[in-house]
């Protein structure tokens, strides 16, 4: 077969990119802070499946959402710290 009748050759595919660093895991503080902040409410919601008066404030189980006065501020601080460390890690790359 002559060169005039040959199909034009295509350039070879580009080489694969070099392996990059492994993807860094996010800080678990953001998710942990969110879960900690609403954990008393989650506990009461799960308990309401098994107990009839789970949200009655005259019972001990009904007063657990009041614990959010303590857990919500701590959770917010944890989320802010997690977001700040994540932003710091991104800017350091």
pTM of the entire predicted model? 0.65
Q: Tens of pLDDT along 19-53?
A: 666 555 667 899 999 999 999 989 988 888 888 87
Is the pLDDT score of 75 beyond 90? yes
- What is the CA 62 to chain-centroid distance, rounded? 29
Mean pLDDT of the chain: 82
Rounded average pLDDT over 11-22: 72
Band of pLDDT at residue 78, cut at 50, 70 and 90:
very high
Instruction: Give percent above pLDDT 90 in the chain.
Output: 31
């Amino acid at each position: 077969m002559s060169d005039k009748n040959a199909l034009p050759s295509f350039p070879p595919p580009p080489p694969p990119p070099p392996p990059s660093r492994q993807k860094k895991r996010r800080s678990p503080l953001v998710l942990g802070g969110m879960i900690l902040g609403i954990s008393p409410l989650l506990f009461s919601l799960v308990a309401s499946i098994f107990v009839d008066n789970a949200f009655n404030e005259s019972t001990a189980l009904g007063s657990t959402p009041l614990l959010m006065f303590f857990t919500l501020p701590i959770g917010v601080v944890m989320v802010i710290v997690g977001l700040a460390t994540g932003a710091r890690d991104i800017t350091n790359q």
